[in-house]
């Protein structure tokens, strides 16, 4: 049963938030990195983007919390399906966010070439991400407008930042204040733990992970080794292994 819903856009500290929630015992926490390393999840997310009813317990089977895309694209649906779940809206300086998100989005156009050049052992992982792209395009239009697609020209900073602010305003408007935390990861454990009613983990500093660097290291490891190194724990709801 999902207890925490992340409504923040990618590159707003979602990787740090994922790690923090897991350190607080509110994991496993879903993140785009889970889809990357477990491409069997792609079909679940594609079904969630269809017009039919969605079994969210199946889509997020085994996960206690979820941040980043693709789950963050469905924050409204998840908030309705799990009325007792709390919502965390991660935010950061909008212009710093724009720079990071633009890099992420524009790189997606090179995914097809990356799939073709990837070692056979990891090609299914990259193919899974490529298959997910139509969902990111279609749901992303709700945030960025009808002409949006991953990889488009994102040079109009004012327009993209305006969409960022509209997204924040929409979440604030639709989620009850007592259910919502607007969270900048620079604030650390204090507001997060107060909101969740838990104590900070003893001896643990708040994780300060760079989303871009974290995903970059994952790709580099995959490309260099021709495989993905997982810890021993099984990935929730997949029967596979959990990503590091």
Tokens of 189: 């454990």
Containing 118, the helix (H) or strand (E) segment is: none
Q: Which residue has the higher pLDDT, 160 or 110?
A: 160
The CATH number given to whatever domain includes residue 211 is 3.40.50.300
Residues in the chain: 244
Residue 235 lies in a domain: no
| Number of domains forming the structure of the chain | 1
- Give the single-character DSSP code of 204: -
Question: β-pairing, 65-66 with 86-90?
Answer: unpaired
- Residue 234 pLDDT more than 50? no
Q: What is the pLDDT of residues 148-196, one digit of tens each?
A: 888 778 899 999 999 999 999 999 999 999 999 999 999 999 999 999 9
Residue 47 lies in a domain: yes
Residue 230 lies in a domain: no
**Bond before 112 cis per omega within 30 degrees:** no
Residue 236 lies in a domain: no
Average predicted confidence (pLDDT) for the chain: 86
Residue 214 lies in a domain: yes
User: 181: how many CB neighbours lie within 10 A of its CB?
Assistant: 19
Range of the domain at 138: 4-225
Tokens of 138: 């279609």
For 199-216, what is the mean pLDDT? 80
Residue 240 lies in a domain: no
Residue 152 pLDDT: 79
Backbone angles phi, psi at 46, to 5 degrees: -65, -40
Residue 44 lies in a domain: yes
Residue 231 lies in a domain: no
Q: What is the rounded CA–CA span in Å between residue 216 and residue 104?
A: 10
């Amino acid at each position: 049963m999902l207890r925490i819903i992340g409504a923040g856009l990618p590159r707003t500290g979602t990787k740090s938030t994922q790690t923090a929630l897991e350190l607080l015992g509110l994991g496993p926490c879903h993140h785009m990195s889970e889809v990357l390393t477990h491409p069997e999840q792609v079909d679940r997310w594609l079904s969630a983007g269809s017009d039919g009813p969605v079994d969210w317990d199946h889509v997020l089977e085994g996960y206690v919390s979820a941040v980043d895309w693709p789950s963050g694209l469905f924050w409204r649906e998840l908030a309705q399906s799990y009325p007792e779940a709390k919502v965390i809206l991660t935010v950061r300086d909008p212009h710093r966010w724009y720079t990071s998100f633009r890099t992420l989005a524009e790189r997606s156009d090179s995914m097809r070439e990356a799939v073709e050049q990837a070692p056979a052992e990891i090609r299914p992982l990259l193919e899974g991400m490529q298959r997910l792209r139509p969902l990111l395009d279609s749901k992303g239009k709700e945030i960025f407008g009808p002409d949006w697609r991953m990889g488009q020209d994102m040079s109009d900073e004012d327009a993209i930042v305006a969409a960022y602010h509209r997204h924040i305003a929409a979440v604030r408007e639709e989620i009850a204040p007592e259910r919502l935390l607007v969270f900048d990861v620079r604030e650390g454990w204090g507001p997060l733990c107060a909101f969740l009613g838990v104590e900070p983990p003893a001896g643990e500093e708040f994780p300060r992970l760079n989303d871009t660097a974290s995903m970059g290291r994952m790709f580099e490891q995959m490309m260099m080794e021709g495989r993905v190194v997982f810890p021993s724990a099984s990935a929730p709801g997949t029967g596979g292994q959990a990503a590091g």
